Amino acid sequence: MGTQVNVSPVKHFDAIIIGTGQAGPPIAARFAGAGKTVAIIERGKFGGTCVNTGCTPTKTLVASAEAIHVARRGTEFGFSVGDVRVDMTRVKARKDEASALSSKEVEDSLREMKNCTVIEGQARFQSPNTVVVNDEVLEADKIFINVGGRARVPDMPGIHDVPFLTNSSLMDLSVLPTHFIIVGGSYVGLEFAQIYRRFGSEVTVVEMGPRLIGREDEDVSDAVREILEAEGISIRLNAECISLAKHDNGVAVGLTCEEGPPEVVGSHVLLAVGRTPNTSDLGLDKAGVATDHRGDIVVDDQLQTNVPGIWALGDCNGRGAFTHTSYNDYQIVADNLFDADHRRVSDRIQTYALFIDPPLGRCGMTDAEIRKSGRPALAAKYPMSQVSRAYEKGETQGFIKISVDAETKQILGAAILGVGGDEVIHVLLDVMYANAPYTVVERAMHIHPTVAEYLPFILAKLEPIA
């Protein structure tokens, strides 16, 4: 007599989706809405990074920090509120409420979706068309991977000897760090730097490179640095050999900087040095899905992996690291599958924001990329201090700069660092998507007094790019 083995029957679906980030749930809705059966699997909190540890909580904190900052500037605006005291418990509760609401909305919408089966657990491929979760085997001809990423924890000396925070664990912190050291001077790190400075922490940003947000043009990096330093944030650049060690007063971060003391001691350390895709525990080898040296899933222009019937969307495919790129991935896949609309990743125009206050809105190429491309270009730059809406609001930091192709008159790129920059950038972005020349903006009548009303005026000042 052989031993009896309990083998649960394979459950068949039209589609399996792994992860409930920004692309998974809308894909589920498209399949379910078309009368197809779909299984969606989540191992953590519904809604993924943006909702739980990314955009929603950080922008809620940015809003608290901005309100606190304005309250401190009361006398400038003609009011006084006495001593501004920050209650971290309430700041955190407000953030938690926003995240919980968004996460619940994602979960509820999936659970209420007809034809959709929600499964909580860790999904692993068993073969190109089967996935195992909680000892159940699911099978589908179409599988969509939307597993996102997590904070990268580099193997720096001392990393295992000290407590450190990431964007995820920081979400549970309800005390105010007395001295917050933020390792990483890029988008995530800088947002937290300003937030915690405004809450009242001493903040030091430690960056390995020679400038902050090194992907941006130098004038943008410099202006962002000035904005942060003006609020009392210390910035240590060229920290080429970062190490961590225990210290009586918290954590000592070794820097080997060109300038200043070789070590800085803080009460808390945040690691904000990039992201790692959640692809190593997915059993991708069992399905034969290829990844690159970073662990990103290799996809083509329509987000198909090397294995027919398997797609990868969002941060795990290395084609974007934003909520809007993940959602756009969903649109590309859905339009190709359901609407015979052959949208491609290469159709989209780079755009994002750095949500410090004032924010940086970006679209298209940087000046450095334009110069490298060798195309004939014109550019114009205008200080926010000359924008009437900005000085009326007392928000005069930053500038607007726009570059266009000298021959085609197409807008090539823009950076709007200043009040409303994250919104105003869309005026230019939509003209780029319309493939219209910049002269459309130049001739448009905009509302006064706004930041956007200056775009036609700035475009009238274009000169050959320096």
Ligand X SMILES: Cc1cc2nc3c(=O)[nH]c(=O)nc-3n(C[C@H](O)[C@H](O)[C@H](O)COP(=O)(O)OP(=O)(O)OC[C@H]3O[C@@H](n4cnc5c(N)ncnc54)[C@H](O)[C@@H]3O)c2cc1C
The reply to whether 22 sits near ligand X by the rule CB under 6 A is yes
With CB under 6 A as the contact rule, which of the stretches 47-55, 69-77, 334-342, 383-391 interacts with ligand X? Answer: 47-55
Site pattern 221..260 for ligand X (x: CB under 6 A): ----------------------------------------
* Residues contacting 97, CB < 8 A, separation 6+: none
Task: Using CB under 6 A, count the residues that bind ligand X.
Answer: 36
Closer Cβ to ligand X, 282 or 458, answer by number:
282
Cα–Cα distance measured from residue 352 to residue 359, given in angstroms and rounded to the nearest whole number:
11
Which of 41, 32, 29 has its CA nearest to residue 14?
Answer: 32
Q: What does DSSP say about strands 351-354 and 360-364: parallel, antiparallel, or unpaired?
A: antiparallel
Cβ atoms of 128 and 307 within 8 Å: the answer is yes
Q: How far is CA 133 from the centre of its chain?
A: 29
- Site pattern 173..192 for ligand X (x: CB under 6 A): ---------------x----
**CB of 74 or CB of 288, closer to ligand X:** 288
Instruction: Give the nearest distance from C-beta 149 to ligand X in angstroms.
Output: 6
Q: Is the peptide bond before 449 cis (omega within 30 degrees of 0)?
A: yes
Q: Rounded to whole angstroms, how far apart are CA atoms 188 and 286?
A: 34
Beta strand extents in 341-443 (DSSP E only): 351-354, 360-364, 377-383, 399-405, 411-417
We find the least distance from the C-beta atom of residue 131 to ligand X, in angstroms, to be 9
Site for ligand X in 155-174 (CB under 6 A): 167
Minimum Å gap between C-beta 63 and ligand X is 12
- 284/390 with CB nearer ligand X: 284
Separation CA 146–CA 132 (nearest Å): 16
455: exposed, middle or buried (Cβ count in 10 Å: 0-12, 13-18, 19+): buried
**Shortest reach from residue 314's CB to ligand X, in Å:** 2
Q: What are phi and psi of 65, to 5 degrees?
A: -65, -35
Selected binder of ligand X within 189, 250, 254, 314 (CB under 6 A):
314
Q: x/- site string to ligand X, residues 97 to 136, per CB under 6 A? A: -------------------------xx-------------
- The residue ranges that bind ligand X (CB under 6 A) are 18-23, 41-44, 48-50, 54-55, 58-59, 122-123, 146-149, 167, 188, 278, 282, 314-316, 321-324, 326, 355
Query: Could you give the residue numbers annotated as active site?
Result: 448
